[in-house]
Structure 1
């Protein structure tokens, strides 16, 4: 059975179709922001609405709609859910062993100021986690660490969501940028140079912005020197690596440079006034310099050092190539039932009907979550945690995340269904038709919508990358501008993505409170999106030479 996507399914009207199929997006916004519905309820309900619209509006076969949703849900659980589960498991092991008390002490010894601690963990350290793992791990680990340091749950979650923006297009190991290159045919090095410019600009802003979010503008001014050190060092390293070496390493290298520069700087400078949360006690934020030996501190941090080494191995091309070729390291479902061979893309997305294939590959060894799980097992041996205790901690972690995993599965299922039904393409085409030469304003917005739908900048690139390129070519614009803007705007969608919010809630123990975080991050997402649009407009009409160009042929 063959079914062709029809992007103007209602009376041949693209705009009418877009308005109707956008109902799930409006509902999800309403459910989270107005109704304050729990994420593990809002996600599945929105998925059911999307299934109904796909069948009734697009006349998509019921079996194909359900199959696309199931494929997305399976993908949501593995590899994405697996990454989050293992990331929080690794953190929980450090808590169980008592080593996190030493980690807290080592951070407090650098500075008891909560603003500085947020810069160290939420900005610099989480950027490293984004570079090596991505897909929820940075927010999960960094937010849990802040909670362990004594941060209130809600500020910890919001701070980490805001801070985790500059490294996203380059993490894990450049996948989102490489996906945009794959979809459009624009060389990965060209995309990396363009995105590197955008992310360097954002890295200069985010450290100060996250402190403003945390304490307000007046108190944020007191730590401007530290914000500059963290931001400038990250921006310089990220720009250099993305310009000269491509998309794989900017987040990893820049985060390490930023962390080291900030640690060294704090040996010579501290805020004149130490800021703490009102509910902090003297004991909770007192500096603990000299309490623990260097060996004890090294052991406490060893799980994350082990993670760096293991993720470094997992990220090497040789290891990936070996696992890809060795059939016993993965399980392949080459033809996803009731979906593969059924859906065909149509014009204007493609010149002639083209099969939209569907398969699932369970890369159980090469998955970043497996690397984190192996790191956890090694860490258990180093920390002296036995198998029985480790199993108990793992089961506890699963119970902690069970509702978040439901939310993740349903949201990714929604994203896959939006793609296979044609909903994502309808919305993108409608944006292009309505905007014309103002399209650069909406390119980042399309990227944001894609990330809100799927929770992934990579998925947003896959959904809308070709559309961004084709529209730019038709308008006589540089396609690198619009494709990089898709990634740039998509990053700001991470702040309000139900997937990201579910991860943050799970990490800080606020499952069921997703709407509280959404209402706060929505404002910050819109502020940052406005900055993105201004920069994209400058690149389009004032300083176009700042961006590299791509080959003219599609």
Structure 2
């Protein structure tokens, strides 16, 4: 079989997802079983992988799905606990006191708070925290999920204290003896380049978040309404990315997102409270009343302010989230013994069905455990009545059921797709076949495609870490073969893999499940596909410009395309920020005629 046909067949499981989930608007619980059957059929009958390997990959996928469901349950439970205790009422009022403008709120919560949580825990945790919080504050569920997914780009490469770099890239490159001797230093050097690329592209992410929110969920369906806060959006972006890129180049890949998110949250939160660059009350933007929302915007989980609970101070209301952040950091720091203690209890299924595939769970280390522990502590600290806390558990359990069907097919499909190599046909695994074919076609233009391959890996695997493990060595070798600095090509892989999280199917399913928005995954991906395309194309253009400057000069195709994208962004801001629909002023009452 020719390489072209192999690549076409490798693409089929992804094509099924694109066609039925995104194109035909099927819910994930229908589209993903079909994609699983296609992947399993190709693995068994074309790649001639043994049935035991397909079964082992499927079981491993089910174990990962259980882990995701555990995280989802913990996140929903914490939100329901805050709702029943009355803390959510206080948190919402706190944001309203800063500004009632939803554009400012989504930047602070999704971009800054989400980046900090990503740096602490990664693995989809920011969406599990930020998305239900936004819904609890009055955002439509669809809007909250889209915002939560778009910000899953810039901070992701350094999520979970640098796991996508230290585990993903480092493991992926470890098979090359030429760089294995000083691999840690090499990865740190690549991390600096990754941070620079992310900083260049990530500066526009908060603006994209608000623009897409007002375009699809505003009364006037106007992108311009989001661009009206461009100064605040750029300020919030730089408040995170400047410390982020400094830390990446001085301290390595463990802390950029964590410190960048924390610094940005502190600076921007203080500035917003003082009214810096925040629209006036007369200019604030909000969603229409709930009864005017489209039917597909709301999820089945209603996270509204409880009529019960007691009044409390802002600090007391925020303590649960502060505990989540603190516990996530403490349990992920390598120089503390806590991580080892929590990882000591491991449920491990080694060499499933006689294969090399191993499935494992570390229940105490999963972020879901932290959510549950914090929920229990909140029950005590907020002096909740047992009946109200029981209601939080009951409603959270019901919410979990709807998420199960989609995830139990989505993740196994991914695992079968990834573990399709080593069969009797002698083919490489499907994602490697696909990437290798594209590289052969691209030649010197590979930097334009490298970010998309990284994104493809994250799209199917649901993880920047796994994408980097699959493709880092492949990207390095392509860089060598086209005679450019391979470290930049590896950096483009890591950046593309991070951006791919914005369209990753099982991340969308997981985020949607926290607010009961099941069955609308394709609509979410259609909205996040544009930010992903911008991110991958812009960073790929910058990468091409960098690696070919010495041979082709500064003004090459990459420089031209990156400049055009930048100019288009500036032009869009300049021409659209003043194009708001004009609301007619109410006529002034006529003055009475003075009596003589």
Q: Same fold (TM over 0.5)?
A: yes
Structure 1 residue 117 corresponds to structure 2 residue 105: yes
Contact 2:402-2:516 within 8 A present in 1 as well:
no
Change in 2 beyond 3 A, CA 1:398/1:201: farther
CA change 1:321–1:209 in 2 (3 A) is closer
Aligned residue in 2 for 1:44: 33
Which of 536, 540, 544 is matched with 2:547 structurally?
540
Three-state SS of the structure 2 residue aligned to 1:542 is helix
User: What's the CA shift for 1:339?
Assistant: 2.0
The equivalent position to 1:275 in structure 2, one of 279, 285, 291, is 285
Name which of 496, 515, 520 aligns with 2:503: 496
Cross-structure match for 1:197:
196
- Equivalences for 1:294-313 in 2 at 5 Å? 296-313=313-330
Does the CA contact (< 8 Å) of 1:122 and 1:164 recur in 2?
no
Q: Which residue number corresponds to residue 467 of structure 2? A: 460
Partner of 1:552: none
Q: Which residue does the alignment assign to 2:163?
A: 175
CA pair 110-486 structure 1, distance change in 2 beyond 3 A: same
Moved more, 485-494 or 521-530: 521-530
The answer as to whether partners of 2:71 and 2:128 remain within 8 angstroms in 1 is no
Q: Cα deviations across residues 363-384 of structure 1 (Å, max 9, x unaligned)? A: 1222232223222222222122
SS at match of 1:393: helix
Q: Note closer, same or farther for the CA distance 1:504–1:322 as it changes in structure 2 (3 Å cut).
A: closer
1:147 alignment partner in structure 2 = 135
| 2:573 aligned residue | none
Which ranges in structure 1 are unaligned for 5 or more consecutive residues?
1-10, 282-292, 341-357, 547-554
**Cα distance in 1 for residues equivalent to 2:191 and 2:149:** 23
Shift of 1:71: 1.0
Shift of the 97–243 alpha-carbon distance from structure 1 to 2, 3 Å rule, reads same
Closer, same or farther: CA 191–308 of 1 in aligned 2, 3 Å: same
Would you say 1:323 and 2:322 are equivalent positions?
no
**Count, aligned residues:** 505
The structural deviation recorded for 1:163 is 2.4
How many angstroms apart in 2 are the aligned matches of 1:211 and 1:487?
A: 26
CA distance in 1, matches of 2:339, 2:266: 32
- The match for 1:4 is none
Alignment match, 2:589: none
CA pair 487-48 structure 1, distance change in 2 beyond 3 A: same
- Structure-2 residue corresponding to 1:224: 230
Q: Which has the larger radius of gyration?
A: 2
More deviation in 214-223 or 477-486? Answer: 214-223
> 1:3-402 alignment to 2 at 5 Å?
11=1, 13-78=2-67, 80-178=68-166, 179-185=168-174, 186-187=183-184, 188-215=187-214, 216-266=222-272, 267-269=274-276, 270-272=278-280, 273-279=283-289, 296-317=313-334, 318-319=336-337, 322-323=340-341, 326=344, 329-340=345-356, 358-385=357-384, 389-402=388-401
Q: Judging changes above 3 Å, is the alpha-carbon distance between structure 1 residues 403 and 467 closer, same or farther for their aligned structure 2 residues?
A: farther
Q: Distance between the aligned counterparts of 1:279 and 1:392, measured in 2? A: 27
Query: Cα distance, 1:94 vs. partner?
Result: 0.7
SS in 1 for 2:122: coil
C-alpha distance in structure 2 between counterparts of 1:467 and 1:85, whole Å:
37
1:411–1:454 contact (8 Å) kept in structure 2: no
Aligned equivalents of 2:235, 2:57: Cα separation in 1: 46
Measured after TM superposition, the shift of residue 389 of structure 1 is 4.7
TM-score normalised by L of structure 2: 0.80
Correspondences of 1:393-472 after superposition (within 5 Å): 393-421=392-420, 422-472=429-479
- 1:224: Cα distance to partner? 2.3
Structure 1 residue 294: Cα displacement = 11
CA-to-aligned-CA distance 1:271-316 (integer Å, 9 cap, x gap): 14111123279xxxxxxxxxxx996111111110111221121012
SS in 1 for 2:480: helix
8 Å contact kept, 1:157–1:517: yes
Give the whole-Å Cα distance in 1 for the aligned partners of 2:229 and 2:479: 42
1:162/1:384 CA distance change after superposition, 3 Å: same
Distance change in 2, residues 1:391/1:295 (3 Å): closer
Distance in structure 2 (CA, Å) of the matches to 1:441 and 1:177: 21
Judge conservation of contact 1:306–1:379 (CA < 8 Å) in 2: no
**Structure-1 separation of matches of 2:327 and 2:379:** 15
* Aligned-residue RMSD, C-alpha: 2.4
Q: Show the counterpart of 2:303.
A: none
Deviations along 1:489-513, whole A, 9 cap, x unmatched?
A: 1222222211122123223332112
Which residue of structure 2 lines up, in the alignment, with residue 7 of structure 1?
A: none
Aligned 8 A contact 2:418 2:461 in 1: no
